[in-house]
Amino acid sequence: MSDANLFPGARVILVETTHPGNIGAAARAMKNMGLTELVLVNPYKFPDEEAMYRSASAEDVVSSARVVATVDEAIADCQLVIGTSARERRIPWPMLTARECGEKVSAASEAQQTVGLLFGRESRGLKNEELQKCHFHVNIPTGEAYSSLNLAMAVQVICYEILQARLGGHHLPSDESGWDQVFADADAVEHFFGHLEETLVQVGFHDPENPRQLLTRLRRLFNRVRLDQMEVNMLRGFLSAINKLGSDHQS
């Protein structure tokens, strides 16, 4: 871990970045504010000299960046996932201001939780299915005359708020600070969602040919409460019991 990293476990994740210069500029913005863990999901062009050039004195952040193929791989071990969203969605998600996001990330890092901050593509942001993997969305308000925010600028704003929260001494809310179990990571939760979908199909409650918004709303429900590992295990045990009961009836 770099000595410049004030927030171990907090990673910035850039999804399918088109311009390598934006990777370097984002790395510079991160290091300015004490974050150094960068993950790149399927970047269009990387490694690239422009990324190093635009990073100024944050070449170490760029050179140590981890490149992965999918968002799932990037967030697999994350216990808290926050996605940036520039527009309202058909099904609203729990929202944070940039300041609230900073407070939550800083406190989670102090509690040794692994946090993923998702930033989307320059042209179209994050896809709905990627945003649905998040516990919270964060929106950075802009003036109406020109609402387009450069990727590195967005990273700078969020990282600034994370540092300000740390300097201000913000801590985890009381309902999280004394939690008796480790929060489940994204990989465990994703397996739970897959198991849940299979079970709903098995009992005839969910029709994959006419899904409506059932699975999206269930994702929102469970992400909103931030399942811990024991809760995931209990829920999957419950689903397995339903699966067995259904198999026994069929045999």
Answer yes or no: do 168 and 232 share one domain: no
pTM score, whole prediction? 0.92
Residues 6+ apart with CB under 8 A from 154: 84, 119, 140
Give me the pLDDT at residue 208, please: 85
In DSSP terms, which residues pair with 81 in a beta bridge? 116
Residue-wise pLDDT tens digits, 191-244: 999 999 999 999 999 988 887 789 999 999 999 999 999 999 999 999 999 999
Answer yes or no: do 37 and 122 share one domain: yes
Q: Prior bond to 173 cis, omega within 30? A: no
Answer yes or no: do 139 and 34 share one domain: yes
Question: In the structure, what pLDDT confidence band is assigned to residue 175 with cuts at 50, 70 and 90?
Answer: low
Answer yes or no: do 87 and 203 share one domain: no
Domain tally, the chain = 2
Q: In what order do the strands lie in the sheet with 37-41?
A: 66-68, 37-41, 10-15, 115-119, 80-84, 136-138, 95-96
**Structural domain includes residue 3:** no
Tell me the residue range of the domain where 233 lies: 179-250
Answer yes or no: do 79 and 170 share one domain: yes
**Structural domain includes residue 5:** no
144, 176, 208 - which closes a domain: 176
